[in-house]
Amino acid sequence: MCGRFVSTSPPEEIARYFGATETADVEGRPNYNVAPTTDVWVVHADGGVRRLDPYRWGLIPTWAKDMGIGSRMINARAETVASKNAFKSSFAKRRCIVPADGFYEWTPAPAGEKRKQPWFIHRPDHEPFAFAGLWSEWKAKDRNGEQVTVRSTTIITGEANTKMAELHDRMPIILPPSAWDEWLDPAQTDAEALGRFLVPAPPEIIQFEPVSFDVNNVRNNRPDLLEPVEVPQQPQLGDTGEVPEPEAPAENPA
């Protein structure tokens, strides 16, 4: 799964890296502990042009009665994304890329600790990951009868590669640059063709280190969260448990 990630690159750098020719006029700030329901940067196709815009993390299907469902839709499983009711429409025609400078995963508590150990996963070359994502546009009326439109996103996860399997049995689907055009093209609706992208990323693009327990509380959002720490044991795949419950997420895009 992917329940927290890191987004510290300025939006203009993200746009340049992903070839987005238009960028939303929104001021971003580094986010070292991105939590569900916050706004995150999304690369999507708009009339043949790649755009970078802030979308709410946690997909809200068009048929949802309220926004609350989004908090349970932060990830979509690669194995069922083409058939599950909440995601199949977006998979067919509303695909996107969620840029990330890295993400977190947790392993069982080290000896003498009750808290699960967070790990920061990133590329060895420190380039951003291109997470395969979906987006949706949800519309409703507020208490005053005014139209409200919310664009939201989810991150697709799949089987872990051999490196990531040292920490967890699943990981985000990471798209290579060669896949970006086809993935973002809404005219590509062939589920079988798209399915060939939903595979584990090469293990050589994965590197990880243990980091501070402060990551476990989303209120902590500082550069030093990414600094490696020493742990008394090596990671062991097993009862990794759930990502700690986010608290008081920020409103601004990461």
Per-residue pLDDT at 234: 56
Q: Containing domain of residue 37, as a range? A: 5-102+129-159+172-203
Query: Which amino acids are annotated catalytic?
Result: 2, 105
**Domain for residue 70, yes or no?**
yes
Residue 143 lies in a domain: yes
Q: Which two tokens stand for residue 48?
A: 């043949």
- Tell me whether residue 151 is in a domain: yes
One-character DSSP codes across 2-36: ---EEE-S-HHHHHHHTT-SEE-S-----EEEE-T
pTM of the predicted model as reported, rounded to 2 decimal places: 0.90
Q: Is residue 253 part of a domain?
A: no
Would you state the pLDDT for residue 113? Answer: 80
Q: Quick check: is 113 in a domain?
A: no
How many beta carbons lie within 10 A of that of residue 251, not counting itself?
Answer: 7
* pLDDT tens digit sequence for 22-47: 676 777 889 999 999 999 999 999 98
Q: How many domains does the chain have?
A: 1
pLDDT in tens, 94-141: 999 999 999 999 999 877 788 999 999 999 999 999 999 999 999 987
Instruction: Report if residue 24 sits inside a domain.
Output: yes
The whole-number pLDDT of residue 247 equals 45
165 burial class (0-12, 13-18, 19+ CB within 10 angstroms)?
middle
Residue 8's CB is within 10 A of a number of other CB atoms, namely: 18
Report yes or no on 82 lying in a domain: yes
Calpha distance 142→228 (Å, rounded): 45
Low-confidence ranges of the chain (pLDDT < 70): 22, 24, 232-254
- Contact criterion met (CB below 8 Å) for 134 and 154: yes
CATH number of the domain encompassing residue 61: 3.90.1680.10
Q: For residue 133, is it within any domain? A: yes
Residue with tokens 């815009």: 53
